[in-house]
Structure 1
Amino acid sequence: MTMNSHLEALKKKHHDMDEAIEAAQRAPGVDGLEVATMKKQKMRLKEEITRLSR
């Protein structure tokens, strides 16, 4: 896997995670801890994207 394809895959995961978080926040009865965990995963993806983009 090339660096560019890896970055694109990470960006897609980040985007998908963003959509999943938004959907979870709109759903009734969603566990706040689950949303917080998803947000942490999204932040790790963003950090990895930033690190690799330098």
Structure 2
Amino acid sequence: MSHTPPRKMMTEEVLRVEIATLKREHRDLDDAIRALEERGTADQLTVRRLKKKKLHLKDQIQALEDRLFPDIIA
């Protein structure tokens, strides 16, 4: 008899992997922005777009973390 893990557990694993992926992308954008700004020749429009994308990623991460760790007040 095979034992399959509960569906909730699989969902939590998927959320954790997705959060980790988004956090990695967020860090990569942060590094790219820093590198562009340090060069001194950064196109401000490009930097602004990257910062906007980084903020969007942060919002996505927060939404997924809220699903994974709901704030339940007892």
Q: TM-score with structure 2 length normalisation?
A: 0.69
Gaps of 5+ in 2: 1-12, 67-74
The CA RMSD measured in Å over matched residues stands at: 1.2
Q: Which residue of 1 aligns with 2:21?
A: 9
Structure of greater Rg:
2
Which portions of structure 1, spanning 4 or more consecutive aligned residues, are displaced by more than 3 angstroms?
A: none
User: What is the count of residue pairs matched by the alignment?
Assistant: 54
Kindly indicate whether structure 1 or structure 2 has the higher relative contact order, using CA contacts under 8 Å at least 6 residues apart: 1
Structure 1 gaps, min length 5: none
Does 2:51 correspond to 1:45?
Answer: no
The normalised TM-score by structure 1 is: 0.92
